[in-house]
Structure 1
């Protein structure tokens, strides 16, 4: 059960929230910040405070919020404002407050804010758990996902990382299987030993055995010296066999022997060499179908498929596109010496609607191209391929999300349309709030609230009229 605290100057406005949420679940504190319990209350998870209370202190809104967090470190702070206090409420959100509500507080608005608080709590608790219990510092940006499908992947990684169990990664090209393999090795008890990656499909058939198992001097034409294979180089560590479905039948037999006996034999050699290697294999093919067609040994498939992990395609984790795009922008700012700060909201909406046949790798390439072409600090439609954005500025039709309940799918569709509509109006009006509100037939206060809800800022639209 959530515990809320309402802090107001006169002490009477907590009744509004109590009526909306239910008696017995809201605690009122009249008299402002000075009347709050000095020891605080770590059980308070949502704190409602009016603008007058934040402005009453000697310092700024930011310092008033800091004082509140001193008392209530886990609380999401929601600011309550009258019609003429929107600017101060927005300033509070920029300073770290969770959101703001305007009086009189409506039941629907209150419900939306509380739903956001709950969703944020769930995501943050999951990330805190990952950070505190398992993932190393270098991996935190990658595991910070909004996708349930990817969170399921990371749960499986945690379960299997500390073992020597063979893992089979499946997924379309460009989904990040090699990165997942490195993540798995980095969190295993072999992390200080070698990680050797082999792209089986990039090696000619005649050289695959030599690359994997090594060869003796004179074992074939051109073998002028002994060469150690990838399995020997990975001894004590991990070997990653990418595109495992491409290897020949003869190599499959030897791989089966390595997995079963933990020994290898160099090409042209006669003695067995013991190897201690953890195997991670990956494929973008349907291994079951390859087995049925006789192109892949059934017994080897069973040996590799001990712990399968499917990496979802980008279209199934569209929630992560904004975060991934932001990360790629930072990456290419450093590599290309550019100063891009953000993506135009309309472009971001269309990126989230695109099918992404090339997955994360395609997104990375698209962002790199846009960073090179963009003359300003915001990535605009002109810097992206027309076919990706639907051509000539036309909207890309969003896919119907039949995997969700009707109510949730409808909400997402309405939110998407609302954000796209507002972005179009802001662009049409050059970012002038008064003109945009008049064009949309709403008040400036309503427009500001909607922009804040959808994360829109007027700055990217300035001088675009």
Structure 2
């Protein structure tokens, strides 16, 4: 039986959820979110929490969610909000909450969310199984994800790793295709044999054949001795051909022959050399388009595309950004001898908004730079690139998200503008509420409510004025 917990300041809302659930579910209601106490409660599967109760734990949505997960580690968190609080609810989802509902909650909308939670539980159970039965210890941190898209990737890796099937990894630059290739090899029956990586796009055209297949002494000017190619070096193991779409037509012909015959010929040689190699190829290009334009042989594409795995870009797995950021902080604390403990909540909100054209690699580089520049124990906006953040820790430019309904997109835009406006105003007024309210044309009470909504603290702006 599923166990659900409702955290709300309004008892009628817990009754509202209870009525939607029906008698077959066990529902507990708590009047308000309180600081963590006692051992974690692992019996709660789903947690419905009002925005007000969420912020009662911490003014930072991300930190409030973290405290809830510490107390209810098995729970999927669904945030409940009024129409005017949708922006905060959306921010909660970006920080890892499962979804959100707006009051009054419709039965059909609630049932849809409940079905999604159940489906997610099934997938998570499968992932937990994979962690315990399949992944080696060194890989556990990589497969820890809140993203359904990445869970699907890891399920595919488990399915194909133990075979000798050729795999084609597709995805944008920086998504981690090389890491995925290593995971496949590390969980195959070839894991004790070589893993040889070749960046095809980084090798001059005149040397690609020699690098891949080797050459005989005297095969060309400068070939003063026999050289073994990457395929021979990978014998018995795995060869990873990154940026496969960049190789020339002549190399494509030879690759096709290697896949078909499991034989190579060194440049300048006449003897066939048998090779037992598992091929994993990767590309950030549209291979079908390359084939249509005659840039890539379609028969070779079919040979490589036996088991395709698409690696999603970071913007499609935003829920993993807080976890990835923390992992990179720990990594660079060790490498740089720093003691960074976390990220300023305003910065984290911005990281969740940013589109990340360079994907995980760009996030890693941004965190490394911030760890080098930061003088305190929390990464502040000033330690991040100016083209990513302005002085208030906000995104300078943000593409229009046409994937959202107009109403929701408008709320998000207005919410973001309000926060930027208030931040700039409070900075100009040195955190003096009376002056800021007068300039904004609102009462001090209205301004205080807006500041509370956007997690703004007047003390921060007074510090900036005095510094």
TM above 0.5, one fold?
Answer: yes
2:29: which partner in 1?
Answer: 48
1:40: which partner in 2?
Answer: none
Q: 1:73 to 1:271 in 2, by over 3 A?
A: same
- 1:230 to 2:227 alignment: no
- Match among 100, 107, 131 for residue 128 of structure 2: 131
Q: What are the ranges of 5 or more consecutive residues in structure 1 without an aligned counterpart?
A: 8-12, 28-42, 55-59
- Match among 92, 96, 109 for residue 71 of structure 2: 96
2:18: which partner in 1?
Answer: 21
Cα offset for 1:51?
7.4
Q: Deviations over 1:342-381 (max 9, x none)?
A: 2222222333333333222222112111111111122222
Q: Is the 8 A contact 2:208 2:251 kept in 1?
A: yes
2:331: which partner in 1?
Answer: 331
Rg bigger for which structure? Answer: 1
Q: 1:255 to 1:375 in 2, by over 3 A?
A: same
Q: Deviations over 1:75-124 (max 9, x none)?
A: 557799x99xx679x8985861578999xxxx957969x89998777656
Q: Is the 8 A contact 2:46 2:78 kept in 1?
A: no
- Match among 27, 40, 43 for residue 73 of structure 1: 43
Q: Structure 2 CA distance, aligned partners of 1:458 and 1:127?
A: 41
With 298-307 and 368-377 compared, the bigger mean Cα shift is at: 298-307
- Match among 438, 441, 444 for residue 446 of structure 2: 441
Cα offset for 1:414?
7.0
Q: Deviations over 1:424-454 (max 9, x none)?
A: 8998999999x9999563888x988x68xx8
1:318: which partner in 2?
Answer: 318
Q: Is the 8 A contact 1:172 1:284 kept in 2?
A: yes
DSSP-derived class of the 2:402 partner: coil
Q: 1:388 to 1:250 in 2, by over 3 A?
A: same
1:278-289 to 2 correspondences below 5 Å = 278-289=278-289
1:301: which partner in 2?
Answer: 301
TM-score with structure 1 setting the length: 0.71
Q: Is the 8 A contact 1:356 1:362 kept in 2?
A: yes
1:258: which partner in 2?
Answer: 258
With 292-301 and 399-408 compared, the bigger mean Cα shift is at: 399-408
DSSP-derived class of the 1:22 partner: helix
Q: Structure 2 CA distance, aligned partners of 1:26 and 1:271?
A: 76
With 421-430 and 206-215 compared, the bigger mean Cα shift is at: 421-430
Q: Is the 8 A contact 1:62 1:92 kept in 2?
A: no
Q: What are the ranges of 5 or more consecutive residues in structure 2 without an aligned counterpart?
A: 59-63, 81-100, 438-442
Q: Structure 2 CA distance, aligned partners of 1:153 and 1:348?
A: 26
2:144: which partner in 1?
Answer: 144
Q: 1:261 to 1:392 in 2, by over 3 A?
A: same
Q: 1:429 to 1:177 in 2, by over 3 A?
A: farther
Q: Is the 8 A contact 1:386 1:392 kept in 2?
A: no
1:246: which partner in 2?
Answer: 246
- 1:360 to 2:365 alignment: no
Q: Structure 1 CA distance, aligned partners of 2:18 and 2:256?
A: 62
Q: Structure 1 CA distance, aligned partners of 2:49 and 2:295?
A: 63
DSSP-derived class of the 2:258 partner: helix
Q: Structure 2 CA distance, aligned partners of 1:142 and 1:415?
A: 34
1:273: which partner in 2?
Answer: 273
- 1:62 to 2:37 alignment: yes
Q: Structure 2 CA distance, aligned partners of 1:289 and 1:17?
A: 54
Q: Is the 8 A contact 1:166 1:279 kept in 2?
A: yes
1:193: which partner in 2?
Answer: 193
Q: Structure 1 CA distance, aligned partners of 2:376 and 2:113?
A: 33
Q: Is the 8 A contact 1:161 1:187 kept in 2?
A: yes
**Which structure has the higher relative contact order (CA within 8 Å, separation 6+)?**
2
- 1:378 to 2:378 alignment: yes
Cα offset for 1:412?
5.8
Q: Is the 8 A contact 2:161 2:187 kept in 1?
A: yes
Q: 1:157 to 1:425 in 2, by over 3 A?
A: farther
Cα offset for 1:269?
2.6
Q: Structure 2 CA distance, aligned partners of 1:120 and 1:48?
A: 19
Cα offset for 1:260?
0.8
With 342-351 and 399-408 compared, the bigger mean Cα shift is at: 399-408
Q: 1:229 to 1:152 in 2, by over 3 A?
A: same
- The two structures, once aligned, show a CA RMSD in angstroms of 4.9
Q: Deviations over 1:151-192 (max 9, x none)?
A: 443343333333322222222222221112112222333233
Q: 1:271 to 1:23 in 2, by over 3 A?
A: closer
DSSP-derived class of the 1:281 partner: strand
Cα offset for 1:138?
2.7
Cα offset for 1:393?
6.4
Q: Structure 2 CA distance, aligned partners of 1:247 and 1:414?
A: 48
Q: Is the 8 A contact 1:47 1:75 kept in 2?
A: no
Q: Deviations over 1:379-412 (max 9, x none)?
A: 2222122122257867534433322455665676
Cα offset for 1:16?
6.8
